[in-house]
Amino acid sequence: MAQADPNQELFDTSKTFADLGLSEKVVDGLTATGFEHPTGIQAALIPPIIAGKDVIGQAKTGTGKTAAFGLPILSQADPAVRGQALVLTPTRELANQVAAELDNLGRATNIRTSVIIGGESSRDQQKSLAKGGHLVVGTPGRVMDLHSRRQLSFNDLKFVVLDEVDRMLDIGFRDDIRRILKAIPNPDRQTIFVSATMDVQIERLARSFMKSDSEKITTVSGSLTVAMVDQKYLTVENWDKRSLLLMMLKREKPETSVVFCRTKATVAKVRSYLKDKGINAAELHGNLDQSRRNKVMARFRDEGIDVLVASDVAARGLDVDHITHVINYDLPEDPENYIHRIGRTARAGRKGIAWTFVTPEQGQMLTEVEKMSGALIEKMEYPDFKPGPIPKGVLEERATGVKKREKPRDLSDRATVGGVNPADGYSDDELKAMFPDGKIPTTLPPKTLGSRFKRRGR
């Protein structure tokens, strides 16, 4: 089958960055970063942002949305003013990455970016704000915190960006985002929202935060997944997943892969199993302390890790160019997270492979994923894989028809617990203190717990 020319799909070769109205300094810096032509979303989004419009931009994963909002902001930023732009992201890793990208893109300018995230010393962050801080990238909890302590001013904000906007406006973050947006005094500020996924409800909600002449710009047609990623699923029982994973890693020898699991407990188990079998694997999830998370990310970026076993904390936004394979060890809780997870590979026109493990009962969930992404996921057979024996407990259940009392699921590292994102805040101990019976609720907490949840992410 003829492969689509990735460059044709991704780049707008009819334009240069200079054509888009960016400042000379910014264009100069771009030549040094090796960017030649803008991507489709960059060509479409940069001119209206420079013209002062509020925009919602939708484009597939890995198509350069960061530079699409970053370049026009850098181009218009004033080196004499701090806190001109606020970019909010759902995870600390993504905040770090976006800030690094802005510093890289703006290398020829005197515009500097500060990162304001939970889990790290706020004193250092204040210092960074004092030294540079023309642009600020952060996660909502710490941003609100420093703002309420008058260490981060919103008074000079001209731009506010929500990266992964559908995630930022889902129920876990919505109240925080509302509060932050309301606290920005400048009525003429520009609002920029981007994501690869966005349903009509989120779009409607997003527009309620924007000026009436806001524009939605999308470069997505057909499927939401990137054509360059080869998507397959494999049917496997839960108890056979890890040996199938090991066999595939040993046989297919992916250069670098991310293995996504649903819970933090599974992440830890899978990682230690792979380590025991001699695989160079590391784990990433929201219950590790931030210095550990940073170390793992740094090692992963430096190609020091072959297999990153991760929770959905790594599903959104991360741009690591050598990821060749994404393996969904478990299906994601939300179908759209499938799109984000597999979007960690096949970035910027590269090829990638995505394998998804599906248990025999999960056919319907797989169909949901296909419907939402608009992509057909083909079945992959692994005929010489020998399934293990059915575990005793499962046989008993089948014989009696009675499900064993399930242990309360460890939900502490799901993307949301009752709609709240614990990845940016709670440790196991804190969760235990909140839910002493060990049952972590899956619905919204009662009002009285509200204030405790709001302390997350600092």
C-alpha–C-alpha distance, residues 418 and 365, integer Å: 21
3-state helix, strand, coil split of the chain in percent (to 5) is: 40, 15, 45
Strands of the sheet containing 135-138, edge to edge, are 113-116, 135-138, 85-88, 159-163, 190-195, 55-58, 215-218
Least distance from C-beta 316 to ligand CDP, angstroms? 9
63 binds, among Mg ion, ligand CDP, none (CB under 5 to 8 A by kind): ligand CDP
119 binds, among ligand CDP, Mg ion, none (CB under 5 to 8 A by kind): none
HEC secondary structure over 396-443: HHHHHCCCCCCCCCCCCCCCCECCECHHHCCCHHHHHHHCCCCCCCCC
64 binds, among Mg ion, ligand CDP, none (CB under 5 to 8 A by kind): ligand CDP
C-alpha–C-alpha distance, residues 454 and 420, integer Å: 9
Nearer to ligand CDP by C-beta: 45 or 296?
45
C-alpha–C-alpha distance, residues 75 and 86, integer Å: 15
Least distance from C-beta 431 to ligand CDP, angstroms? 31
- 356 burial level (CB within 10 Å; 0-12, 13-18, 19+): buried
Q: How many residues bind ligand CDP (CB under 6 A)?
A: 16
Stretch 59-98: interaction string toward ligand CDP, x if CB under 6 A:
x-xxxxxxx-------------------------------
The residue type of 38 is: P
Least distance from C-beta 42 to ligand CDP, angstroms? 6
- Stated as kind and residue range, the H or E segment containing 394 is helix 392-400
Contact 113, 165 (CB under 8 A): no
Least distance from C-beta 224 to ligand CDP, angstroms? 12
> Scanning residues 9 to 68, which ones bind ligand CDP (CB under 6 A)?
35, 38-39, 42, 59, 61-67
62 binds, among ligand CDP, Mg ion, none (CB under 5 to 8 A by kind): ligand CDP
Stretch 307-346: interaction string toward Mg ion, x if CB under 5 A:
----------x-----------------------------
C-alpha–C-alpha distance, residues 56 and 271, integer Å: 38
Nearer to ligand CDP by C-beta: 65 or 112?
65
> Scanning residues 233 to 262, which ones bind Mg ion (CB under 5 A)?
none
Nearer to Mg ion by C-beta: 72 or 317?
317
Least distance from C-beta 18 to ligand CDP, angstroms? 13
340: contact with ligand CDP by CB under 6 A: no
Nearer to ligand CDP by C-beta: 240 or 319?
319
C-alpha–C-alpha distance, residues 301 and 244, integer Å: 26
Q: Which is nearest to 275 in space by CA: 296, 246, 254? A: 246
C-alpha–C-alpha distance, residues 292 and 125, integer Å: 18
Nearer to ligand CDP by C-beta: 12 or 145?
12
65: contact with Mg ion by CB under 5 A: yes
Residue 71's CB is within 10 A of a number of other CB atoms, namely 29
Stretch 341-380: interaction string toward ligand CDP, x if CB under 6 A:
------xx--------------------------------
Least distance from C-beta 379 to ligand CDP, angstroms? 28
Phi, psi of 89 (to 5 degrees): -130, 160
Least distance from C-beta 245 to ligand CDP, angstroms? 26
- Stated as kind and residue range, the H or E segment containing 144 is helix 140-148
38 binds, among Mg ion, ligand CDP, none (CB under 5 to 8 A by kind): ligand CDP
Q: Which residues pair with 355 in a beta bridge?
A: 232, 327
Least distance from C-beta 64 to ligand CDP, angstroms? 3
Least distance from C-beta 371 to Mg ion, angstroms? 24
Which residue has the closest beta carbon to ligand CDP?
A: 64
C-alpha–C-alpha distance, residues 337 and 354, integer Å: 13
Applying CB under 6 A, which of residues 145, 283, 319, 424 lies at the interface with ligand CDP? 319
Contact residues: ligand CDP, CB under 6 A: 35, 38-39, 42, 59, 61-67, 319, 321, 347-348
Contact residues: Mg ion, CB under 5 A: 65, 317
